[in-house]
Amino acid sequence: MALQVNPKIIAGAGQSFADNLAQAIAVADSKVCQHAWVRRFDESAGASARSLDILRAASQPLGPLAGWTLSVKDLFDVAGHPTTAGSRVLAKAAPAAADSLAVARLRSAGALLMGHTNLSEFAFSGVGINPHLGTPINPAMPGSTACIPGGSTSGGAVTVAAGACRAALGSDTGGSIRIPAALQGLVGFKGTQRRVPRAGVIALSTTLDTVCAITRDTHDARLVDAVLCGMELAPAGVRVALPLRSARLAVPSTLVLDDLEPVVASTFDAALGVLSRAGAHIETIELPQLARLAEWQALGSFAAAESWAWHRRHLPLQRAEYDPRVALRIERGARMSAADYIELHEARGRWVVEIETATRQYDALLCPTVPIVAPPMAPLTQDDAAFFRVNALLLRNPSVVNMLDGCAVSLPCHPTGSAPVGLMMWAAAGADERLLDLAEGAEAALAVGRGMATTGTGAP
């Protein structure tokens, strides 16, 4: 059943930080967040909230994320707690001695860290199923059928969709932020990889892993991104958003529009109409270079090769403790030669140049984030063929941006009350600020089409 979120849990309007945290904990404890958490940090979050209340009462300056409830994917080191990547393999891991850099920046900005969240084991799936810890149910899907949350940042997305957290820290290697955001009606922003350090984060692919977050709107996405990047926030009224009416946008017809479910196709078309009426100039282009992605990926994948480099210490001795579907994908990396790995890097570099050259006249590209709405969970837990088919569909469009070394944001574009559908805006590396400007304008325009009076208010 689609969830009605209490905005006070997110916004904290008119209450103490400690009271807001107590309300968030009540939601985090509820059935809607079942299996979303690996471990909770309630005691330390409570101490932080009380400290913020004392500072505010003394009129002391507070950080830009002061009082925000925030969840942390179980890949990021949090001082005093183990990091286990949603696995049995690391069940006996020692507590981290220090925060990962991303967590340290969020904590320093005043965020209240509520706990480590569940994920696809070692972040190696876009579906979000975890056979060891259980799988959280997608709270945004209408009806009573349990549907997948999307992955790999499955639990993090659920904590935001449920209203327990204002943001969820995660990682995106082939869509792990944008997929669950799209399937749960949230905003998922994947920035250019090099902007946020990955120190203190368990790696899936050192070439592709990107530290980023899931939020409820683009205002919050921009704030969290600025903190993660260590950027100074522009004072209110100084930044001028790029008007949507001046934007040149392109919709590639190759690959990213294949095999769309009818509801995704019709919702995406309607969203394009909304953006066009808001003044955006939208063109359909072929971009045939996208078709070549599968051809040279036949050499192997960065995720398989680079995850094998990490897991070869564990997998031969502990294979029975792995999710068999994850172990199978990691082991493919053992068969990739050094020559093939080097050739893959070279092919990627040439492909990035070709795509950037072919699209440089556009401010951003558009496509559905994923070609399907969240499917029922049960068949995917029972049938390997069905699982891998859905996993490939979910990863297909988002992974284009990771291979491009670009930036992207998934915005909800479905009518309120219907199955969530995401619209992905994407651009080349380094275009993050411009893309977020466009996303704010697109979000505001799409809100009308979704039957919402407004969006992106970013209430503190």
Closest by CA position to 181, among listed 205, 162, 209, 153: 153
Residues 6+ apart with CB under 8 A from 455: 217, 443, 444, 446, 447
Exposed e or buried b per residue across 64-93, where buried means at least 16 C-beta atoms within 10 angstroms of its C-beta: bbbbbbbbbbbbbbbeebbbbbbbbbbeee
Confidence band of 11 (pLDDT split at 50, 70, 90): very low
Q: What is the mean pLDDT of the chain?
A: 93
pLDDT given at position 242: 67
Q: Assign domain 7-292+340-449 to its CATH architecture.
A: Alpha-Beta Complex (3.90)
Confidence band of 293 (pLDDT split at 50, 70, 90): confident
Active site residue 16: no
Which residue among 176, 205, 301, 410 is the active-site one? 176
Show me where the domains of the chain are located. 7-292+340-449, 299-339
The continuous run of DSSP H or E covering 274 comes out as helix 262-277
The continuous run of DSSP H or E covering 378 comes out as helix 378-382
Q: How far is CA 210 from CA 178, 410, 418, in A?
A: 12, 15, 30
Our measurement of the distance from residue 137's CA atom to the centroid of its chain's CA atoms, rounded to an integer in Å, reads 17
Rounded average pLDDT over 194-217: 98
Radius of gyration over every alpha carbon of the chain, rounded to an integer in angstroms: 21
One-letter amino acid at 90 equals: L
Q: Given its phi and psi angles, is residue 94 left (phi above 0), alpha (psi -120 to 50 degrees) or beta? A: beta
This prediction's pTM: 0.95
Q: What are phi and psi of 244, to 5 degrees?
A: -60, -30
Question: CA-to-CA distance for 390 and 372, rounded, in angstroms?
Answer: 9
pLDDT given at position 428: 98
Rounded average pLDDT over 60-82: 98
Question: CA-to-CA distance for 400 and 294, rounded, in angstroms?
Answer: 10
- And the tokens for 432? 């993050």
User: Any idea what the Cα angle at residue 406 is, between residues 391 and 340, rounded to 5°?
Assistant: 65
Q: Is the pLDDT of residue 98 over 50?
A: yes
Active site residue 152: yes
Sign for the pseudo-dihedral over CA of 282, 189, 221, 148: positive
pLDDT tens track for 347-381: 999 999 999 999 999 999 999 999 999 999 999 99
Closest by CA position to 307, among listed 80, 87, 136, 81: 87
Active site residue 176: yes
pLDDT given at position 457: 40
Q: Is 189 exposed, middle or buried (0-12, 13-18, 19+ CB in 10 A)?
A: buried
pLDDT given at position 243: 77
Question: CA-to-CA distance for 344 and 326, rounded, in angstroms?
Answer: 22
Which residue among 73, 154, 171, 410 is the active-site one? 73
Closest by CA position to 102, among listed 91, 113, 87: 113
Confidence band of 459 (pLDDT split at 50, 70, 90): very low
pLDDT given at position 246: 87
Which residue among 125, 152, 307, 399 is the active-site one? 152
